[in-house]
Amino acid sequence: MSDHGAHADEHFAGSNKLFISIWVWLLVLTLLEIFLAYKPMELHFMLTILLGLSVIKAFLIMAYFMHLKFERFSLIITLIPALVVCILLLLVFFPDSFRSQGLRYQYKEQPPVAPPPVEEQ
């Protein structure tokens, strides 16, 4: 039996240091998403950035925590449909949310009214 055959059955197990570093990257990307959600910027630009960061996070999770890093075909077959579903969900829900935005009750504060003058006697 060759030495190559013995290594073919090994699976990538990873180390605690690797998984902690991936977890830290996921945490940093999540905090960046939260930070960007509160920054005033054009909606389409912000959503593009947030979707891109989410795809990066999905790649990291699937590659390292689902152990698909060395199975490139499985990684692509898993990532691409998830991306397509996310984009389709955006296309379905955003038009409805924009339509319903105009249906909200618009509170209009009435200007303060001065009390009637008190007559002195």
Residue 89: inside a domain: yes
Whether the pLDDT of residue 2 is over 50: the answer is no
Bigger pLDDT: 110 or 42?
Answer: 42
* Per-residue pLDDT at 12 exceeds 60: no
Residue 106 falls within a domain, yes or no? no
pLDDT tier, 105 (very low <50, low <70, confident <90, very high otherwise): low
Phi-psi region of 14 (alpha: psi -120 to 50; beta: other; left: phi over 0): left
Share of the chain above pLDDT 90, in %: 12
* pLDDT tens per residue across span 13-39: 668 888 899 899 999 999 999 998 888
Range of the domain at 25: 16-95
The answer to whether the CB of 2 falls within 8 A of the CB of 9 is no
Note whether residue 121 is domain-resident: no
Tell me how far apart the alpha carbons of residues 31 and 23 are, in angstroms, rounded to a whole number.
Answer: 12
User: Is 119 part of a structural domain of the chain?
Assistant: no
Sorted by sequence, the CB contacts under 8 Å of residue 58 that are 6+ apart come out as 79, 82, 83
CA-based R_g, the chain, Å: 27
State the Cα–Cα distance between residues 81 and 88, nearest whole angstrom: 10
**Is 4 within a domain?**
no
Its pTM stands at 0.53
**Into how many domains does the chain fold?**
1
Indicate whether 102 belongs to any domain.
no
Q: How far apart are CA 48 and CA 26, in angstroms?
A: 18
